[in-house]
């Protein structure tokens, strides 16, 4: 757009700058999650513990 405003190059750059500042300052929240899954026919639950260091790790359970 010639006169600026929404959709102009300047507005687009400002949005990118704001997003970059947000992502640079945003901190990943700390969390600890304990999950017990009790399945029929089992005497004990499968226990899983999730935190920011292992949340992406694959978990398995034998059937």
**Gap between the Cα atoms of 48 and 37, Å rounded:** 8
pLDDT, residue 3, reads: 58
pLDDT 10s digits, 23-56: 787 677 777 999 999 888 889 999 999 998 888 8
pLDDT, residue 13, reads: 84
| Sheet strands (E) in 1-63 | 32-37, 46-51
């Amino acid at each position: 757009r010639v006169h600026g405003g929404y959709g102009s190059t300047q507005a687009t750059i400002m949005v990118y700058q704001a997003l970059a500042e947000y992502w640079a300052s945003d901190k990943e929240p700390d969390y600890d999650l304990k999950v017990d899954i009790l399945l029929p026919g089992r005497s004990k639950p499968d226990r899983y513990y999730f935190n920011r260091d292992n949340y992406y790790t694959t978990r398995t359970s034998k059937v």
